[in-house]
Homo-oligomer: A and B are copies of this chain.
């Protein structure tokens, strides 16, 4: 779009919004039109909420989670079990586990996975803190809740190797048929894993 049509302010907004995942130039334009229509109700509040978040939110120096406090609310919560640390790739994975109410211990966010292709080495990830935390006397279990992708599993193996010298139990998430899953549509790997791990009912 010619910059002179809608003015540089709107152009800049479209350009910034189109950098969000799931929004291209076209949908960013649609979002901006919606924002312009709801200037009072949405545009102003969104600007404030963003400025507020950008100012207040920081990364937890213990676990790598994002929060307005450091240590984050999860690390600081006394009712959460300090004996168990769940290692996840991203904050999004942490949120997913919290939504599922799956875990009452504490987390450790790596911030990605090892990747030869993208040149991500162990020192590029939030790993040093994990080895330190795992060595603490109260810690008895490390759950490696990494994605079931090639990079995720490579990272899990690397971590399991590195943690082998420390006196903690290392576990990982079960593989199997997802809830609502139909066998006919599952991939062979999942089906084979589910079969191998079959349990008496």
CB contacts under 8 Å to B, within A21-75, are 21-23, 27, 29-31, 33-36, 39, 42-54, 56-57, 66-68, 73-74
In the assembled complex, A191 has its CB within 8 A of some CB on chain B: no
Residues of B within 8 A of A9 (CB): 49, 52-53, 56-57, 68
In the assembled complex, A174 has its CB within 8 A of some CB on chain B: no
Q: How many copies, total?
A: 2
Residues of B within 8 A of A157 (CB): none
Given contacts A29-B95, A36-B66, contact A46 B10 (CB under 8 A): no
Give a binary string over A88-105; 1 marks a CB under 8 Å from any B CB, 0 the rest.
001110010011000000
Q: Is the CB of B21 within 8 A of A53?
A: no
The CA of A16 and the CA of B4, in the complex, are separated in Å by: 29
In the assembled complex, A6 has its CB within 8 A of some CB on chain B: yes
The CA of A27 and the CA of B22, in the complex, are separated in Å by: 7
In the assembled complex, A1 has its CB within 8 A of some CB on chain B: yes
Closest to A4 in B: B73
Given contacts A20-B31, A21-B34, A22-B30, contact A10 B42 (CB under 8 A): no
The CA of A9 and the CA of B45, in the complex, are separated in Å by: 12
The CA of A30 and the CA of B23, in the complex, are separated in Å by: 11
Residues of B within 8 A of A90 (CB): 33
Closest to A34 in B: B21
Residues of B within 8 A of A50 (CB): 13, 35, 43-44, 46-47, 50
Other than the given A7-B67, A9-B49, 7 more pairs (CB < 8 A) read A4-B73, A5-B99, A12-B49, A13-B50, A20-B35, A29-B95, A47-B47
State the A residues within 8 Å of B (CB).
1-2, 4-7, 9-10, 12-13, 16-17, 19-23, 27, 29-31, 33-36, 39, 42-54, 56-57, 66-68, 73-74, 90-92, 95, 98-99
